[in-house]
Structure 1
Amino acid sequence: MNSSPTTYIYPFAAHESERELCLMEQRALFGHDAEGTAYLESPLRLAPNRSPYVQLRLDVLFAASSLAELGEIAATLELDGRTFKVRYLKSGQRLTYEGERGVERQIGARIRGIAEMRNPDITLGLLAREKDWVLGICHHAEPVWLAHKAKPHNYSTGLTTVVARALVNIALPRPEGKRGIDPCCGMGNVLIEALSMGVDIVGRDINPLAIRGARSNLRHFGFQENRVQIGDLNELEGAYDAAIVDLPYNLCSVLSVSERQRMLESVRRIAPRAVIVSTEPLEQEIADAGLSITDHCTVSKGNFVRLVWEVQREM
């Protein structure tokens, strides 16, 4: 290509029950959300499969006020013998099926190269924004988290792979050189998503059965099972950059207010920032533990509602 992108566009999709979590993840990763549109623009270049809600990354090459002008610019592309196809991205202004195919043909006809519809070397994404048209290179996401659903062991009320992956991104949006911990790791859902993204993380749980299940799950996906050890959050030592804490909530793990308070105080002790998940409102308890809430959302699954808080240690 004869132009280098300086802007990236991330089309995304989320079920209504996870819309708030999707936007919260965007605020953590990009510093702002895309409320009101189905795509987010940013100068940050992230792997397209980083977020479970992102469908692809569009590396912007050109923008023009009209489709005709964009076609003239597209005629200057140098593909160096590579095959291509043009794909209209539905995340922008909506067109009819015939309209989408028409604008694809209009731009594709201006590009000097070999069109290949089935298996092109390059897919060029065409996006209609509110006031202009954009053409760029598509890098599609590989939804690795879908494969992680087939774990040997799981809790029926455990975090889904999508939610777990989003929580990791909220807790550690810039994970390079940082270390995370899931001190109530259960069967390791958060750990697996974090490790699949190259995040340095360890897991602890007070329940030996959970530890055995988590180790089996890690081993199943090719991760080191020694990243999980038995341990009580309230007795953990060491310091971590971020913690992801899904507080126990099933009938066998009913926590008293004093127990929750002690756990939240332990979170503050081991990490300056954390993502906390609970089925009960904890705003006052979070404040009493010396943590301040920087963002929050709710995630629902039928009648089962989780509350999610991004917190940081008060100085």
Structure 2
Amino acid sequence: MKRLTATGDYIYTYAYTDDEKDLCQLEMRSFFGKDTSNKIIKSGVAVEPSRSPFIKERVEVLFEGDTLQEILKQSEAVDMNQLTFKVIFLKINGLSRQDQIDFLGKREIERAIGLAITGEADVHQPNVTFGLIPFEGRWYLGRYVQSEPIWHHHMKKPRVYSTALSTRVARAITNIALPNPIGMKAIDPCCGIGTVLVEALSMDIDIVGRDINPLVVEGSRENIAHFGLAGKVELGPIAEVDSHYDVAIIDMPYNLYTHATPEDQLGILKAAYPFTEKLLVVTIETMDHMIRAAGFVVTDRCIAKKGLFKREILMCQKKVME
């Protein structure tokens, strides 16, 4: 296949429930610097689709045009040589009316582009899949990648904890805290049974865990090992962290289960101040006043809902001292 030069743009499609919309949009803003109420977004930022629990698929744009005929013309320059291929017209629920095409129309368009490309088509096991999508009045064709729901496999942990985050929420907040994790060091200093650690380690993120409870530390280590991952989990209070990290993820202990007082919660936030520049806090209570008192400012936020139960996700940055 003759090497094709991408335009540098990517189109992502999304799937989420109404309860997950707010969390998904915060993840979008973290990845792309913007969000949308539609289930499709275009960006110059490359994100591996399987990182997100909400991204369905990605098209790395090769060709674009105002009309389908422009795409067909550009497709004639593609020579697959010995590689097989197929073309799919993405199925998107969030498209505007002007971009919607009926089922039979999509199949005809797929065949037309397939005929324009030089090479052998294989609808079952192609070497390369091309994705076609109309978006905001223009047409786009590019390399297609479908997301693999890796997080789904992590639901079956040997050790579970009734108040632990779901794997979807844990994966999303990890992305929110570390949208560009290369060269970054992270810590989960109240890690519980390691739900966040498992998601982060499965994405090759440099993260360590810590907890004051020896039983959950043991459970966290067991869960990490169960999925063939390698990660360090230490026993001890957050106040004894002696290394520096780019970001800390804290799922704040809940009063009902840990008997943590407001003073304890403030103490956790203050203890994080010396060793991290950024802080992601998960809380079931309003805690903006504690965030400020601990020396941080909230830079973005959302509500993660599951029925009537709500968690607040706060992305925080160290205050700039005047």
TM-score range, shorter chain: over 0.9
Per-residue CA distance 1:24-50 (angstroms, 9 max, x = gap): 1111122222x1332222222222212
SS at match of 2:133: strand
- Structure 1 position 12 matched with structure 2 position 29: no
1:25 match:
27
Per-residue CA distance 1:260-297 (angstroms, 9 max, x = gap): 11111112222110110000111122112111000000
Normalising by structure 2, report the TM-score.
0.93
SS at match of 1:158: coil
1:138 match:
144
1:3 match:
4
- Structure 1 position 187 matched with structure 2 position 193: yes
SS at match of 2:204: coil
Per-residue CA distance 1:142-185 (angstroms, 9 max, x = gap): 22111111110111221111111111111112211221000110
> How far, CA to CA, are the matches of 1:101 and 1:4 in structure 2?
26
Q: 2:212 pairs with 175, 191, 206, which one? A: 206
Contact residue 201 and residue 230 of structure 2 kept, 8 A: no
- Structure 1 position 81 matched with structure 2 position 87: no
2:295 match:
290
> How far, CA to CA, are the matches of 1:69 and 1:238 in structure 2?
56
Paired AA for residue 159 in structure 2 = H
2:116 match:
110
2:251 match:
246
Unpaired stretches in structure 1, ≥5 consecutive residues: none
> How far, CA to CA, are the matches of 1:173 and 1:47 in structure 2?
11
SS at match of 2:282: strand
SS at match of 1:177: coil
1:159 match:
165
Q: Displacement, 1:254? A: 3.1
> How far, CA to CA, are the matches of 2:50 and 2:257 in structure 1?
36
Q: Displacement, 1:2? A: 4.3
Per-residue CA distance 1:41-71 (angstroms, 9 max, x = gap): 2222222212221122211110011112211
> How far, CA to CA, are the matches of 2:85 and 2:198 in structure 1?
35
Per-residue CA distance 1:76-130 (angstroms, 9 max, x = gap): 1111221111111123433222222222222222222212111111111000112
SS at match of 1:4: coil
Paired AA for residue 41 in structure 2 = L
1:273 match:
278
SS at match of 2:53: coil
Aligned residues: 313
> How far, CA to CA, are the matches of 2:180 and 2:273 in structure 1?
20
SS at match of 1:142: coil
Per-residue CA distance 1:223-244 (angstroms, 9 max, x = gap): 235x011111133222111000
> How far, CA to CA, are the matches of 1:102 and 1:250 in structure 2?
59
38-47 or 112-121, larger mean C-alpha shift: 38-47
> How far, CA to CA, are the matches of 1:261 and 1:211 in structure 2?
22
Q: Displacement, 1:206? A: 0.9
SS at match of 2:181: coil
Contact residue 10 and residue 61 of structure 2 kept, 8 A: yes
> How far, CA to CA, are the matches of 1:150 and 1:202 in structure 2?
21
- Structure 1 position 230 matched with structure 2 position 232: no
Contact residue 154 and residue 187 of structure 1 kept, 8 A: yes
297-306 or 78-87, larger mean C-alpha shift: 78-87
Q: Displacement, 1:250? A: 5.6
> How far, CA to CA, are the matches of 1:195 and 1:11 in structure 2?
25
Paired AA for residue 292 in structure 2 = A
> How far, CA to CA, are the matches of 2:81 and 2:210 in structure 1?
52
Unpaired stretches in structure 2, ≥5 consecutive residues: none
2:63 match:
62
96-105 or 73-82, larger mean C-alpha shift: 96-105
Q: CA RMSD in A?
A: 1.5
> How far, CA to CA, are the matches of 2:12 and 2:190 in structure 1?
32
SS at match of 1:251: helix
130-139 or 96-105, larger mean C-alpha shift: 96-105
Q: Displacement, 1:207? A: 0.9
Structure whose residues are more often strand by fraction: 2
Contact residue 2 and residue 78 of structure 1 kept, 8 A: no
2:313 match:
308
2:267 match:
262
SS at match of 2:50: coil
Q: Displacement, 1:252? A: 2.4
